[in-house]
Amino acid sequence: MTSTARPSPARALAITAALLLALVRLAGCVAIEPEEDDLMIPEPVVVQSPTPVPAPTIAPITDIGIIDMHELPGGDPSLVRIVGTIVNHSNQEVSHVTVRVEARDASGRALTRVTVPALAEPIPAAGGTSSFEASLPRSATIHDYHADVVSK
Protein backbone atom coordinates (compact mmCIF):
# COMPACT_ATOMS: atom_id res chain seq x y z
CA MET A 1 0.00 0.00 0.00
CA THR A 2 1.16 3.45 -0.76
CA SER A 3 0.58 6.40 1.32
CA THR A 4 0.05 9.95 0.19
CA ALA A 5 1.08 12.84 2.28
CA ARG A 6 -1.31 15.68 2.61
CA PRO A 7 0.10 19.18 2.57
CA SER A 8 -0.20 21.11 5.74
CA PRO A 9 -3.19 23.51 5.99
CA ALA A 10 -0.87 26.56 5.95
CA ARG A 11 0.79 25.36 2.79
CA ALA A 12 -2.55 24.63 1.11
CA LEU A 13 -3.75 28.10 2.06
CA ALA A 14 -0.59 29.67 0.57
CA ILE A 15 -1.01 27.75 -2.70
CA THR A 16 -4.69 28.69 -2.91
CA ALA A 17 -3.87 32.36 -2.27
CA ALA A 18 -1.15 32.29 -4.94
CA LEU A 19 -3.56 30.72 -7.47
CA LEU A 20 -6.26 33.29 -6.66
CA LEU A 21 -3.79 36.13 -7.05
CA ALA A 22 -2.67 34.75 -10.42
CA LEU A 23 -6.30 34.45 -11.56
CA VAL A 24 -7.07 38.05 -10.52
CA ARG A 25 -4.07 39.29 -12.46
CA LEU A 26 -5.03 37.28 -15.52
CA ALA A 27 -8.60 38.50 -15.33
CA GLY A 28 -7.35 42.01 -16.14
CA CYS A 29 -5.72 40.69 -19.32
CA VAL A 30 -8.77 39.02 -20.79
CA ALA A 31 -10.42 40.90 -23.64
CA ILE A 32 -14.03 41.72 -22.95
CA GLU A 33 -16.30 41.32 -25.92
CA PRO A 34 -18.40 44.43 -26.47
CA GLU A 35 -22.10 44.04 -26.43
CA GLU A 36 -24.01 44.97 -29.55
CA ASP A 37 -25.30 48.27 -28.16
CA ASP A 38 -21.78 49.22 -27.00
CA LEU A 39 -20.40 49.15 -30.54
CA MET A 40 -19.68 52.61 -31.89
CA ILE A 41 -19.96 52.85 -35.63
CA PRO A 42 -17.88 55.79 -36.76
CA GLU A 43 -19.69 58.36 -38.82
CA PRO A 44 -18.22 58.94 -42.25
CA VAL A 45 -15.79 61.82 -42.30
CA VAL A 46 -16.80 64.50 -44.76
CA VAL A 47 -13.98 66.81 -45.64
CA GLN A 48 -15.31 70.11 -46.87
CA SER A 49 -12.64 72.18 -48.46
CA PRO A 50 -13.47 75.48 -50.03
CA THR A 51 -13.43 75.59 -53.79
CA PRO A 52 -10.20 77.31 -54.70
CA VAL A 53 -10.66 80.61 -56.40
CA PRO A 54 -8.39 80.84 -59.40
CA ALA A 55 -5.86 83.63 -59.25
CA PRO A 56 -6.72 86.48 -61.54
CA THR A 57 -4.64 86.43 -64.66
CA ILE A 58 -3.43 89.69 -66.06
CA ALA A 59 -2.78 89.18 -69.73
CA PRO A 60 -1.58 91.90 -72.05
CA ILE A 61 -4.28 93.14 -74.40
CA THR A 62 -2.94 92.91 -77.94
CA ASP A 63 -5.28 95.32 -79.69
CA ILE A 64 -4.20 98.21 -77.48
CA GLY A 65 -0.62 99.45 -77.64
CA ILE A 66 1.65 101.89 -75.85
CA ILE A 67 3.89 104.31 -77.70
CA ASP A 68 6.13 107.27 -76.90
CA MET A 69 6.84 106.23 -73.30
CA HIS A 70 9.50 108.39 -71.66
CA GLU A 71 10.69 109.92 -68.41
CA LEU A 72 9.83 113.50 -67.46
CA PRO A 73 11.16 115.63 -64.62
CA GLY A 74 8.90 115.73 -61.59
CA GLY A 75 8.50 117.75 -58.44
CA ASP A 76 9.91 115.00 -56.16
CA PRO A 77 13.57 114.07 -56.84
CA SER A 78 13.08 110.62 -55.26
CA LEU A 79 10.50 109.67 -57.92
CA VAL A 80 10.67 109.07 -61.65
CA ARG A 81 7.68 110.30 -63.67
CA ILE A 82 6.87 108.07 -66.68
CA VAL A 83 4.39 109.21 -69.34
CA GLY A 84 3.19 107.49 -72.49
CA THR A 85 0.43 107.24 -75.06
CA ILE A 86 -2.12 104.44 -75.30
CA VAL A 87 -3.30 103.61 -78.84
CA ASN A 88 -6.53 101.70 -79.46
CA HIS A 89 -6.06 99.55 -82.60
CA SER A 90 -9.35 97.69 -82.12
CA ASN A 91 -12.60 98.36 -83.96
CA GLN A 92 -14.41 99.30 -80.72
CA GLU A 93 -14.12 102.18 -78.31
CA VAL A 94 -12.50 101.06 -75.03
CA SER A 95 -12.82 102.51 -71.56
CA HIS A 96 -11.49 101.80 -68.08
CA VAL A 97 -8.00 101.05 -69.38
CA THR A 98 -5.41 100.17 -66.71
CA VAL A 99 -1.65 100.28 -67.38
CA ARG A 100 1.13 98.45 -65.48
CA VAL A 101 4.54 100.15 -65.62
CA GLU A 102 7.78 98.41 -64.57
CA ALA A 103 11.26 99.78 -63.96
CA ARG A 104 13.76 97.12 -65.09
CA ASP A 105 17.45 96.50 -64.57
CA ALA A 106 19.95 95.73 -67.36
CA SER A 107 19.02 92.01 -67.33
CA GLY A 108 15.31 92.80 -67.80
CA ARG A 109 14.30 91.94 -64.23
CA ALA A 110 11.53 94.12 -62.77
CA LEU A 111 12.82 96.27 -59.93
CA THR A 112 9.60 98.12 -59.15
CA ARG A 113 6.10 97.98 -60.57
CA VAL A 114 3.08 100.26 -60.38
CA THR A 115 -0.41 99.92 -61.84
CA VAL A 116 -1.98 103.13 -63.04
CA PRO A 117 -5.70 103.28 -62.22
CA ALA A 118 -8.23 102.97 -65.01
CA LEU A 119 -8.53 106.00 -67.24
CA ALA A 120 -11.85 107.76 -66.97
CA GLU A 121 -12.23 108.82 -70.60
CA PRO A 122 -12.97 106.27 -73.35
CA ILE A 123 -10.42 105.76 -76.11
CA PRO A 124 -11.96 105.90 -79.61
CA ALA A 125 -11.63 102.92 -81.95
CA ALA A 126 -9.27 102.57 -84.93
CA GLY A 127 -6.30 104.58 -83.72
CA GLY A 128 -7.76 106.64 -80.89
CA THR A 129 -5.24 107.70 -78.24
CA SER A 130 -5.03 108.65 -74.59
CA SER A 131 -2.11 109.39 -72.28
CA PHE A 132 -1.06 107.90 -68.95
CA GLU A 133 1.33 108.90 -66.19
CA ALA A 134 3.02 106.81 -63.48
CA SER A 135 5.47 107.60 -60.68
CA LEU A 136 8.10 105.09 -59.59
CA PRO A 137 10.94 105.29 -57.04
CA ARG A 138 14.16 106.60 -58.61
CA SER A 139 17.11 104.16 -58.57
CA ALA A 140 20.57 104.07 -60.14
CA THR A 141 20.00 100.41 -61.12
CA ILE A 142 17.08 101.23 -63.46
CA HIS A 143 18.05 100.48 -67.06
CA ASP A 144 14.71 100.97 -68.80
CA TYR A 145 10.92 100.98 -68.40
CA HIS A 146 8.23 98.66 -69.73
CA ALA A 147 4.43 99.12 -69.78
CA ASP A 148 1.51 96.83 -70.57
CA VAL A 149 -2.22 97.44 -70.80
CA VAL A 150 -3.61 94.98 -68.24
CA SER A 151 -7.37 95.58 -68.37
CA LYS A 152 -10.04 97.36 -70.30
Tell me whether residue 57 is in a domain.
no
Tell me whether residue 54 is in a domain.
no
Tell me whether residue 24 is in a domain.
yes
Express each pLDDT in 11-44 by its tens digit.
777 777 666 666 556 555 555 555 555 555 556 6
Same domain as 29, residue 101: no
Tell me whether residue 90 is in a domain.
yes
CATH number at 126 reads: 2.60.40.3230
More confident residue, 150 or 38: 150
Same domain as 138, residue 99: yes
Domain range for 142 is 64-151
In contact, 144 and 135? CB cutoff 8 Å: no
Burial of 115 (0-12, 13-18, 19+ CB in 10 A): middle
Q: How far apart are CA 63 and CA 87, in angstroms?
A: 9
Same domain as 70, residue 145: yes
Same domain as 75, residue 27: no
Same domain as 86, residue 26: no
Q: Looking at the 3D structure of the chain, how many domains does it have? A: 2
Express each pLDDT in 50-102 by its tens digit.
555 554 433 346 688 888 889 887 788 888 898 998 888 888 888 888 889 98
Q: How far apart are CA 16 and CA 13, in angstroms?
A: 5
What band does 48 get if pLDDT is binned at 50, 70 and 90? Answer: low
Residue 138 above 70 pLDDT? yes
